[in-house]
Structure formats: structure tokens, C-alpha cells
Structure 1
Amino acid sequence: MVEGSQALPAPNRQDLTAADRPALIGPLDTIQVDVFNVPELSREMQVDASGRIAMPLAGTVDARGRTASELARAVEAALRGRYVRKPEVTVNIKSSVSQVVTIDGQVVEPGLYPVTNQMTLLRAIASAKGMSEFARQNEVVILRTVQGRKMAGLYDVDAIRRGAYDDPAIFANDVIVVGDSPQRRLFRDFVSLSPIVAAPLIAILQ
């Protein structure tokens, strides 16, 4: 089903649990945990594949889908119950491998790229060293899962550059396909009736 909506809806928190925009922690991310005045508990560690960390006295704490401050409060609560009086904990994300976007198709360097706080479609394509020589600028598809539904948006990069509509935000877990693809063919009949697309086309895949 193709809708004339102006933008893909932003994924909610549940959509982003496995890999989120910078605020959330995901599996295999590296974090720094500091416990004020208890240096023996302060350390750099990697979140395990199930999204948990293990600390002396605190035990196992679920980090997946939490912000750094939320995880700090969870560690404080765990330490408070394990003989640490008034613990003060700070958590910082050192590096993230869980927050990535896939860029495929007619770009110079397809692959997985980290998602930054201000990433947009044009910036994502630039991260992949731009479009290849024969890429079709009006055939760029963003695939996204929102509340369990797979959705796709068709964008015209040249129209975005001209200011015809806003450069859409990119989120972790998005898949960007530049050029012809099975996802692009979803829009073929609709575009043939209206060759000048004044706004993104959004489709619900399931």
C-alpha cells in the first residue's frame, strides 16, 4: 500500500532496542563505568551479546536499550543493595557497534556505517563516498521497521538538494538502497503516473 505521507515515522524505543540512535546502549558496545571513591569498581567493559554487564558487588545488570544515565542508576541500585553506601555512578559510551545503518546499491563504498546523532539521508550517502557514476538519484529507498511493521520510503536525492523537501533523518537499523532494487519496484506503477515526485512516497510492506 502506497501512501502520500510526508515522511517515514520515527521508530519507537522498542524498535531501537537492538541498535539505537546514540542515546541507547546495545550489545557489544564498549562502556566506561566509574564509581565515585571506589576506584576498584571503576572499569571499561564490553556489553555482552545478550545486552548485559557484570560487575563486582553489583552482579549482572541489564544494559540493553538503556541510556548511559539509566544504566548508571541501575548500577547504583545494584551496589546499594550490596554494601556500598550511597554509590555515585557515571557511565559513558566509549564506542558503539550496535548503532549502524546499512547502505547498499549504487554508492561508491556500500557497507555498514555508524549512526551519528544528526545523520540524514544525504549525510549517510556521503559516508559511503557518495553515489556511483550511474546511480539514479530519484530511486533511493529507506527500509525501516516501526512498531513491528516493515516500511519503505522512496526519495529523490536531487529534489532534497534543491530544497523540494527535507533531508530525512536516518536511524539505527535503517537500510538505504540506492538505485534499482526489489524495494524500488514497489513504487514503479505509482511513479509512472506521477513522474515528478514532490514528496517522499511511503509504503507499508507488512
Structure 2
Amino acid sequence: MTKDVGLPAPDRRDLVAPDRVSLIGPLDTLGIDVFNAQDFSREVVVDASGRIAMPLIGTIDANGKTATELASEITGLLKGRYIRDPDVTVNIKESVSQVVTVDGSVNKPGLYPVTNQSTLLRAVAASGGLGDYAKINDVVILRTVNGKRMAGLYNIGAIRRGIYVDPPVYANDVIVVGDSPARRMFRDALAVAPLLVAPLVAILN
């Protein structure tokens, strides 16, 4: 008899999610650290127009930039004029612009933060899980790619069974979990069941 050894342990590389580009947007909180220059090091909130204010160098457009790109721009503005050789690091400490929308038959529809490990199943779990009448084979991800609106249809049951991989989700994606009309009809019928004489039978898809 073959012994079931279960799933193999992950490789070290499996434990590190691949980088996905995180872009700065309005109302994000940034940590700016200029080595050995405390006057320039600070935590800032990007304003509604996507700009931040820095001492001496004024306002900078941060919208749509990566943390590395913004750090490089600040370095260029400081270098020579204020600091001989500035060492600037920018971190996105809290992002409200990098979110995914989860809607439809989930327990807590709304906006949820996106990280480089976000996937469809994780986004659904963050939204409180599937609703009672969710149609697990009718889950749509809406995404804009190169200005074109695209949609992908997914089956959560198949993902859970490992038939195909849990797809990554990205900022500005919209996830819509379908609703099963048959299940809702069954619930509504149960509400009036005491009025019925014959047994109630329903086929649930």
C-alpha cells in the first residue's frame, strides 16, 4: 500500500511573492527617509491631486509613480543644492488608492487593499466570504488593460479543488460574485412553507 505523504514542503522561492508594481495615489501615506537629514525625513499624506510637499524643494507630483521613482526624483531635487549626496528611501506605509472592489453575493461588499500577494480567493475571504446564495461558477473579474475593459469568468469551486490556480488580482480590479436565483427562490419558498400542504421540493443549481 502506497503511503500518503501529503503535499511537499514549499521551496524558499515559493514563500516570496513576486513583485507587483505598486503606484502611489491620492491620500496614500508615505514614509520619506533622507539619511542623516532629519529635516527632510517625514511621513506625508498625498493630497487629493496626487502631490506632496517637501521642505525647501516645494511640491512634487507623486501620483502614478512607484516609491523608487519618487525617491529618485527627490534625490535629484536635493542633490547639490541642499545635500551633497542624498540617500533617499520612500515607502508606501498605507495605501487607499491601491484597492480592489468586491461586489455581488459576498457578506461584506466593499473596497479592500491590494498587496503583491492578493488573489481572487483572498479578496473574497477579505470581503467576509461568499454569501448564502453565491453562484461559485459565476465569478467575474473586471479589469482595464491598456485602456480596454476586459472581463474574466472564474469558478471558485474549481480553484478550491486545485483544478486551476488562484488568479492574482490587481489595483482597480472589480470582482463580482454571481447570485443563484434558484437558491433565492428556494429561500423565499421556505418563508411561506407553513402555508403549503404538500412537501416542498426544489432543485438547486
Task: Classify the TM-score, shorter chain.
Answer: 0.7 to 0.9
Q: Give the superposition deviation at 1:127.
A: 0.6
Residues 1:138 and 2:133 are matched in the alignment: no
TM-score norm. by structure 1 comes to: 0.73
CA-CA distance at 1:22 after TM superposition: 6.0
Give the aligned residue type for 1:37: N
SS of equivalent to 1:139: strand
What residue in structure 2 maps to residue 161 of structure 1? 160
Kindly provide the amino acid, as one letter, of the partner of residue 145 in structure 2. V
Which residue pairs with 1:199 in the alignment?
none
Which structure has more RCO (C-alpha within 8 Å, separation ≥ 6)? 1
Partner residue of 1:77? Answer: 76
Using the aligned pairs only, state the percent identity: 66
Q: Which residue of 1 aligns with 2:41?
A: 42
Q: Unmatched 5+ residue regions in structure 2?
A: 1-19, 181-205
* Distance across 2 between alignment mates of 1:69 and 1:162: 39
Give 1:72 shift: 1.0
Deviation at 1:53, TM superposition (A): 1.1
- The answer to whether the Cα contact below 8 Å between 1:139 and 1:155 also exists between their aligned partners in 2 is yes
By how many angstroms is 1:58 displaced?
1.9
Q: Which amino acid aligns with 1:177?
A: V
Q: Match for residue 114 of structure 1?
A: 113
**Letter paired with 2:177:** V
Three-state SS of the structure 2 residue aligned to 1:166 is coil
CA positional deviation for 1:57: 1.9
Letter in 1 for 2:160: R
Corresponding residue number in structure 2 for 1:185: none
Cα root mean square deviation, aligned = 1.6
In structure 2, the residue matched to 1:28 is 27
Equivalent position of 2:175 in the other structure: 176
CA distance 1:49–1:82, change in 2 (3 Å): farther
Distance 1:149 1:180, change over 3 A: farther
Largest Rg, 1 or 2: 2
Does structure 2 conserve the Cα–Cα contact (< 8 Å) formed by 1:35 and 1:89? yes
Tell me which stretches of 4 or more aligned residues in structure 1 moved more than 6 Å. Answer: none
Q: Helix, strand or coil: the match of 2:164?
A: coil
Cα drift, residue 84 of structure 1? 2.3
Q: What does 1:47-58 correspond to in 2, within 5 Å?
A: 47-58=46-57
Q: Could you list the per-position Cα deviations for residues 138-193 of structure 1 after superposition, in whole angstroms to 9, with x for gaps in the alignment?
A: 11111111000001111111111122222111001000010149xxxxxxxxxxxx
1:99-135: per-residue Cα shift (whole Å, max 9, x none)?
A: 0000001001111100121111111111111101111
| 8 A contact 2:22–2:98 mirrored in 1 | no
| AA in 2 matched with 1:109 | K
Pairs aligned (count): 161
CA distance in 2, matches of 1:24, 1:38: 25
Q: State the TM-score, normalized to the length of structure 2.
A: 0.74
Separation in 1 of the partners of 2:33 and 2:57? 13
Distance 1:22 1:125 in 2: 22
Q: Secondary structure at the match of 2:135?
A: coil
The 1:151–1:180 alpha-carbon spacing in structure 2 relative to 1, beyond 3 Å, is farther
Deviation at 1:24, TM superposition (A): 2.1
Cα offsets for 1:77-103 (capped at 9, x unmatched): 011253322122111111110000000
Contact kept in structure 1, 2:119 and 2:169, CA below 8 Å: yes
Structure 1 gaps of 5+ residues are 1-20, 182-206
Equivalent-residue separation in structure 2 for 1:87 and 1:164 (angstroms) = 51
Matches of 1:81 and 1:25, distance apart in 2 = 26
